[in-house]
Structure 1
Amino acid sequence: MAGIVVIGAGQAGSALVAKLRASGYDGALTLIGDEPVPPYQRPPLSKKYLLGEMGVERLILRADSFYADQAITLKLGQPVTRIDPAAKTVWLGNESIAYDQLALTTGADPRRLPAAAGGDLAGVYGVRKLADIDAMASEFQPGRRVLIVGGGYIGLEAAAVASKKGLEVTLIEAAPRILGRVAAPQTADAVRALHQSHGVTIREGLGLTRLTGDTRVTGADLADGSHLDVDFAIIGIGITPGGQALAEAAGLTLDNGIATDALGRTSDPAIWAAGDCASFVYRGARIRLESVQNAIDQAEAVAANMLGADTPYVPMPWFWSDQYDMKLQIAGLNTGYDRVVTRDSGPARSFWYYRGATLLAVDAMNDPRGYMVGKRLIEQGKSPAPEAVADPATDLKALLA
């Protein structure tokens, strides 16, 4: 038997191979990654690692001895160049590896600025890989000026780190407001106020025309005709599903990423996908979930289905973001909401998303109780009356009864 090959040595890939072994699979197992380091956590990169509060050894998910003990062949720093589904073979340059089943856990790639917009200048950074953070770390010196392009969670987390390190921070967002794709105006208002209280300049509804400089970025021309002098720039304008070119060349169906069925199988019955790169149908729409929770849970579900479990994957989404002293915890998906209910209990605040009478999601700011209760309600399919949620006198735990 050729065994199982997994392409993508991130959170999903690591979870998938570990689950295969824990479930009793004893055949050949190979995990391939294009980075030269073993699988590691990505969320702390733009938070504690960039702040210097977490060392690289704490990022690593599993010790090298785990892979050796579990007879998992790790191939690191070796990007896959081609998949041949007919021959059931993957190619790493001139090296080929046969497979019986193949899993794609290729994550996501950051959107880059084109060269015409200054994307190839020195001092311009993305936030996705360990190497990205290591490359920009020396730029974070007090008094320097940083431009952050993009008002999503990645850009906002980078802005928080830069502010805490004493930099002069300007964040621009081309959309009318920050967090426009992922959060309600109420959440965005609270996050914006938090950043402004720490001296961050946030300019919304303002796009970037180009970064300027000869070989290194020194400034930015903005869409309103103004110019901003900067020492470096961080680009946080979203991500695209990873591995799409590889999958497309292999003849796999793409639809907002690598399209899978409810089990995680792609259009080729011997090839599976999980994590940020994979799209699947949820509540009648094809979606991708970009989160650690989904990477782990979906990968483990795919591992079980590769071994014959035949159990559809049903996500229980949750996310988080750390900015300054605020911990934002998110349960559920707010897609399709038509009402937001605010619960304000002093320093703890939460925003509850409803569609009609149905609770969809909760954004909880320094409110672990609101997050915990909201998450459990969503998982149990319960929807408390919005008036009860909004009343600070309501005992949230009672809503679970």
Structure 2
Amino acid sequence: MPNKTRVNAAAYALAAAALLTGVCAPAAAAAPDAGAHHHAHHHASHRIPFTAAQVTAEDDGSYRITWDAPGVRRVVVRADGRTVAVGGSSATVNVRGLPAADRQWFDLVPDRGEGLHLADRLVKLQGTVNFRDAGGYRTEDGHWVRMGVVYRSDALNNLTDADLAKLQRLGIAVDYDLRTASERTSGPDRLPAGARHVVADVLGGSGAVSTMPTSPQAAEQMMVGAEKYMVSGDTAKTAYSSVFAGLVEDADGSLYHCTAGKDRTGWASATLLTALGVPRETVMADYLASNDYRAAANAATLAALPPAQAAIYKPLLDVRAEYLDSGFDEVAQKYGTFTAYEKQALGLDSRELHRLKAQLLEG
């Protein structure tokens, strides 16, 4: 398919998804590259003994904290300077009665090795549904991606003043806007004072929708084509290169987003996590989580449409494993390995990847 046709198809697919998202906006995979992480810390000391750990904020204001730390006998959970729970090498604990906070952090302190500093991945704001931390994942070689450094989100034009104050307290310093010119015009970002806005237009066009799919299968193919364009399209490579150049320079307080926070943003996160050494199944789980975070908004959008039309448009609102798989397929087809994609498409050499990992990995 000629490149111009491909960018138009990608623009139609993602702009259609963005258009639908705005209706109810809140006020075969590439084989793992054996050498893809030759620049990673192959001889990791596994100083962090946790093989799994997660914080989940419950609807009743409590927090569920789970972990696995083989070989550890005791883990102390601390919050706000005090011990709130204690468990063994593998446990699930519930913590209640903590005071309200912008974001509740927990320190998991094992009786040997280094601890973890974790929070619920979702940052709750009034004007977004898919604003979340890009970190909190374990890499294949035993490191962990730091939380509280890089964030991903859906559109920021509906942020309230309270949201902006919260983001300023969280230290958001730079916003990489992956949207088209028409999206930026119709819904300009609201940012905390002092935050820098960087245009990184993945599609490089207006994103105007001149045709819509006429069947669910056609909608699915549009999304697959859009995913492939995000890997090898010229404007996509330029946009993602600018994002990664910024992260390499200074990742702290960085945010990247599109309209729904699932497709263009989803590939940005998939690329970042893969470059850091996070295993593919974890990358996929992070990508698919948009279906959970966007569930209510997507359901409201589809409920407002006639059933036949809703069936056609549902693939545009979803994230699906086959979409992300098609992106990794494109990497394998066009570049051979993920390492080659990092270098040729994103301009990331081993030195820059080392700088990125130094900022974002711990342990």
Shorter chain as denominator, the TM-score bin is under 0.3
Structure with the higher strand share, 1 or 2: 1
More helix by share: 2
TM-score normalized by structure 1?
0.24
